Structure 1
Amino acid sequence: MIPLALGQMRRRPAAFAGLAVALLLAIATLTLFGLLFAADSTTPAAARKAADGPGLMVIAGAFGEIAVLVAFFVVVNALGFAVRQQHRELALLRTIAATPRQARRLIRGQAVATALVVAAPGWAVGVLSARGLLAELQRRGMAAPGVQVPGTPLPLLVALAVALAVGLAASAVAARRISRIAPASALTASATEQGRTGAPRLLAAAGALTGGALLLRLAATRPAGEVDKAAQAALLGSLVLLVAVALAGPFAARVLAAALGTPVRVLAPGAGWLADANLRGYARRLSSAVVPVALLVGLSGTMLVMTSTAEHAAGAAASGATSATDVWLRQAELAMLTCFAAVSTVNTLVAVTAERRREFALLRLVGATRPQLLRMLTAEAALTTVVGVLLGAAVAGAASAAFSTAVNGSPMPTVPVAGCWWIAAGATALTVPAVLATGLRAVRGPAAVPAAGSRG
């Protein structure tokens, strides 16, 4: 199975590039906060008390809790996409007597191999980030001047072990469908996309939705003096709601695409009709593209609105509840989460578009021109962006309302309109150029060669 796993990775580099970057981010994040935790634990108590602010261990825990969950969310989404791109090959293996255990072993091997390949650069990024963040915290007086990043390899090894564990868990979830159905059914399922989202997935989405709602209720009922705890609960609740969006993604994406497709068909009768048909016919592919956009908008919007609401509440109360260091910490967390989500968005969109070379070639063989294909991709990218922004905005609105209830007793948060527009513009700037640039590359050359080849 190892040669087969490595062969698939070499054959589909675009599909595994997103998984590689996601695992690299996970290892780097675990290394970063593990080293900060180790630095705090080796610092004398007197030095820790001399520093202002919450302390390295609290900062590492608060930042790491959300950042690591986001990184792992990205890992699961990226691995699920990589496995979906291999359904045809896995189905063929099943028809020639490969057992479900062997199929699962192949996918586990791919996750482990990818994690091992990116371990060294992930460690390097984590160490450099820990040193940079520690220096900035020391400059702002939130860490003692004598604190240093320790040279112990334990945080690095723990980061790799946890990333491997998450990769293996994600591979088990991703391989579940292809390994449980009969070989002939697997081959048939690989040729077409499932028309409906399965009941177990919808039940899991309902469970995640319930969990997110409970976390938001917990955030809303926090006392006004516990702003940080309310913010962490609201941010964690938004992440759980985004998990629910990912689980119910095909269903939600199909519904929203159907609602938004009519104006696109009117504005662009040819390319718009084909774009709408593609998005509704391939809801899983649309979901793969929409979820990272929703993650980007949801987390960025939640952090931005919560920060603005906390500042407004502190100003109205004429208190120093929100200091400059608090604002800086929230901005740093926002930048980190936005970086994770942006990388996931670009990787997924590039991989999704690159895998459609055969589809584009068939359209060209039946008379479609390159400009027509690019207009179709533009319409698809616009619809994908709008669907992702709407889902992310809904999550951000719910989380921000819960936080605002805790801070000032009203579910109406302080919304920085200009900042929200910038988030939407940023999502558009990531989505449309990534799709069009990859599409331009995918439609190069003669159409007959990709059309006659395999899906990759």
Structure 2
Amino acid sequence: MFGLALRSLRHRAGGFLATFVSMVFGAAMVMAFASLLDTGMAAGVPAASRKSLVLMAVVVGGWGLIMVAFSVTSTLTLVVRQRASELALLKNVGATPMQIGRMIVGETSVVALVAGLVAIPPAALAGRGLLSLLTSTGRVADGVGYAFGSYALGIGLGVTFVAATAAAVITVRGSVRSRAAEAARSAASGGGRMSRKRAVAGVAFLLLGAGLAVTTATAMRGKGIDAMQTAGQTSIWTSIGFALLGPALVGRVTAAFARPLEKAGVPAYLTVNHVRHRSGQLASALMPVILFTGIATGTLYMQWIENAATTASGVVSTADQKTTETLNFTVIGMLVVFSAIMLINTLVAAMTYRRGEFARQRLVGLTPPQVLKAVAVEGVILTVLGVASGTVAGLFTIVPYSIARTGRALPDVGAGSYLGVVVIAAVLTLGTGLTAARRAIRTPAVEAVTR
């Protein structure tokens, strides 16, 4: 099956492009932050500088690992779902679930290995840039030399390979367990049904976020900046919970707005039907919108609340507080870039796969503008649902932290930052979806159907 995996990769390299890009960026990000450990552990580094470097590497790199795992799982799930008909055919000709699983895991392992090697040069440049940032902001002493060694390579390559392989195993379990006839029906319907394990995991993450929120508002009240230890995690776990429940969220929202949308014209009617039958695929695109909105909003406003509380108390910011501020803004910057790449990859892969669907719509009478309008309506649904879910996830951090630091549930901070997050999420979702769809319909309809 490993030989089959290599041949399959050779003939469907484009299908794994989104997964490969996610792995390259994820590996580069993990290596870049892991290189701060190489730098901090070198001889002659001052204790304060070593503390800042290790803290940045462990905290930001750790959350980066989670983002990498979700990104790879998201794109890989889309790839496997797009191959549902192929997997059903393999089962019909006698392939066992174990053989199909080994083939997909083998494909993913090869992609992960190549992606990790490709990521080394940009990781070294990014790590050097991180050190320059910490030096320019006074978090690391001048004269500390940059090192890119065993920590960066070992952690970066190891994490990428393990995360990718684990994501492949998780992704294929549900796909290969069903019988051949069931797999064929799932391929035809789009496989929008959410598994029970995914639902349980989503609820578990939401409960974890709720528990941390209560802890922040009660046990951490009056503890100062230490409250970030629990508050900072809350929006992350809650965003992951909502992201896992994506298929159910898409289905519920579509059902609520189905009647008015179906009366709004042909594009809206087509969108409703597509969303109903492809909620699982759309949930993959919804995931980065929720993660971006929830984590960016929660982390950004948590820092604004801390800055306002420090100013109101008249206390001069300490070195630890400044390091924490730099760390938080680094998380946000990393999140913006990574979520953008994750969202673009997912939407481009999804739209490319739908080239045949768009062609069939045009052959039965739809014009290209109508097809694009349908994609736009779909993008609006994803944007509204993703931003709404992410906003709720962000509030799980904002409200408890505001109570812990100021005694008020709602912070006295402007809405400018939130509006900026919403605008970025909308531009990424709508802009990427429409651009990819426009490229997909450039192919003549008859040619696209026969591919």
Assess, with a 3 A threshold, how the Cα gap between structure 1 residues 320 and 72 changes in structure 2: closer, same or farther: farther
Q: Aligned letter for 2:233?
A: L
Q: Aligned letter for 1:270?
A: V
Corresponding residue SS for 1:55: helix
Aligned to 2:206: 209
- TM-fit CA distance, 1:225: 3.7
Whether 2:382 is the aligned partner of 1:406: answer no
Q: In 2, Cα distance between the equivalents of 1:417 and 1:332?
A: 21
Whether 2:266 is the aligned partner of 1:239: answer no
In the TM superposition, what whole-angstrom CA distance separates every residue of 1:364-391 from its partner, at most 9, and x where no partner exists? 1111111111111111111211111111
In the TM superposition, what whole-angstrom CA distance separates every residue of 1:234-267 from its partner, at most 9, and x where no partner exists? 332222222222221101111123334455445x
Structure 1: runs of 5 or more not aligned:
none
**Contact kept? 1:14, 1:354, Cα under 8 Å:** no
**Contact kept? 1:308, 1:416, Cα under 8 Å:** no
Equivalent position to 1:287, from 254, 267, 283? 283
In the TM superposition, what whole-angstrom CA distance separates every residue of 1:245-299 from its partner, at most 9, and x where no partner exists? 2221101111123334455445x32212222222222111221111111111111
Assess, with a 3 A threshold, how the Cα gap between structure 1 residues 12 and 295 changes in structure 2: closer, same or farther: farther
Aligned to 1:276: 272
Q: In 1, Cα distance between the equivalents of 2:412 and 2:103?
A: 50
- TM-fit CA distance, 1:131: 1.0
Assess, with a 3 A threshold, how the Cα gap between structure 1 residues 151 and 430 changes in structure 2: closer, same or farther: closer
Aligned to 2:341: 343
Equivalent position to 1:163, from 131, 140, 160? 160
Aligned to 1:26: 26
Q: In 2, Cα distance between the equivalents of 1:234 and 1:135?
A: 29
- TM-fit CA distance, 1:392: 0.9
Aligned to 1:48: 47
Aligned to 1:437: 435
**Contact kept? 1:305, 1:414, Cα under 8 Å:** no
Aligned to 1:100: 97
Kindly report which structure 2 residues correspond to 1:174-189, keeping only aligned pairs within 5 A, or say none: 174-189=171-186
**Contact kept? 1:306, 1:413, Cα under 8 Å:** no
Kindly report which structure 2 residues correspond to 1:219-258, keeping only aligned pairs within 5 A, or say none: 219-220=216-217, 221-227=219-225, 229-258=226-255
Assess, with a 3 A threshold, how the Cα gap between structure 1 residues 63 and 194 changes in structure 2: closer, same or farther: closer
Assess, with a 3 A threshold, how the Cα gap between structure 1 residues 124 and 165 changes in structure 2: closer, same or farther: same
- TM-fit CA distance, 1:219: 3.2
Assess, with a 3 A threshold, how the Cα gap between structure 1 residues 110 and 226 changes in structure 2: closer, same or farther: farther
Corresponding residue SS for 1:146: coil
- TM-fit CA distance, 1:44: 3.1
Q: Aligned letter for 2:132?
A: A
Assess, with a 3 A threshold, how the Cα gap between structure 1 residues 282 and 126 changes in structure 2: closer, same or farther: same
Q: In 1, Cα distance between the equivalents of 2:148 and 2:265?
A: 62
Aligned to 1:331: 329
Aligned to 2:140: 143
Kindly report which structure 2 residues correspond to 1:412-451, keeping only aligned pairs within 5 A, or say none: 412-451=410-449
Whether 2:194 is the aligned partner of 1:197: answer yes
**Contact kept? 2:244, 2:287, Cα under 8 Å:** no
Corresponding residue SS for 1:203: helix
**Contact kept? 1:257, 1:387, Cα under 8 Å:** no
- TM-fit CA distance, 1:398: 1.5
Q: In 2, Cα distance between the equivalents of 1:416 and 1:14?
A: 44
Whether 2:300 is the aligned partner of 1:301: answer no
Aligned to 2:383: 385
Assess, with a 3 A threshold, how the Cα gap between structure 1 residues 231 and 70 changes in structure 2: closer, same or farther: farther
In the TM superposition, what whole-angstrom CA distance separates every residue of 1:376-431 from its partner, at most 9, and x where no partner exists? 11111112111111111111111211222222233323443111111111111111
- TM-fit CA distance, 1:354: 1.3
Assess, with a 3 A threshold, how the Cα gap between structure 1 residues 96 and 206 changes in structure 2: closer, same or farther: same
Q: Aligned letter for 2:379?
A: A
In the TM superposition, what whole-angstrom CA distance separates every residue of 1:149-181 from its partner, at most 9, and x where no partner exists? 224344213311121111111111100112211
What is the RMSD computed on CA atoms of the aligned residues?
2.2
Q: In 2, Cα distance between the equivalents of 1:75 and 1:257?
A: 27
**Contact kept? 2:69, 2:167, Cα under 8 Å:** no
**Contact kept? 2:286, 2:382, Cα under 8 Å:** yes
Q: In 2, Cα distance between the equivalents of 1:188 and 1:257?
A: 22
**Contact kept? 2:18, 2:75, Cα under 8 Å:** yes
- TM-fit CA distance, 1:141: 2.4
Residue correspondences, number: 448
- TM-fit CA distance, 1:112: 0.9
Corresponding residue SS for 2:119: helix
Structure 2: runs of 5 or more not aligned:
none
**Contact kept? 1:66, 1:236, Cα under 8 Å:** no
**Contact kept? 1:254, 1:280, Cα under 8 Å:** yes
Q: TM-score, normalised by structure 2?
A: 0.92
Q: In 1, Cα distance between the equivalents of 2:411 and 2:193?
A: 37
Identity %: 30
- TM-fit CA distance, 1:15: 4.1
**Contact kept? 1:345, 1:430, Cα under 8 Å:** yes
Q: In 2, Cα distance between the equivalents of 1:172 and 1:385?
A: 30
- TM-fit CA distance, 1:328: 3.5
Assess, with a 3 A threshold, how the Cα gap between structure 1 residues 151 and 301 changes in structure 2: closer, same or farther: closer
Q: Aligned letter for 2:88?
A: A
Aligned to 2:149: 152
Corresponding residue SS for 2:283: helix
Assess, with a 3 A threshold, how the Cα gap between structure 1 residues 427 and 12 changes in structure 2: closer, same or farther: farther
Corresponding residue SS for 1:175: helix
Aligned to 1:37: 37
Name which of structure 1's ranges 364-373 and 395-404 shifts more when overlaid on structure 2.
Answer: 395-404
Whether 2:67 is the aligned partner of 1:109: answer no
Q: In 2, Cα distance between the equivalents of 1:173 and 1:194?
A: 16
Name which of structure 1's ranges 404-413 and 129-138 shifts more when overlaid on structure 2.
Answer: 404-413
Equivalent position to 1:370, from 348, 365, 368? 368
Corresponding residue SS for 1:57: helix
In the TM superposition, what whole-angstrom CA distance separates every residue of 1:83-108 from its partner, at most 9, and x where no partner exists? 11111111111111111111111111
Q: Aligned letter for 1:201?
A: R
- TM-fit CA distance, 1:68: 2.1
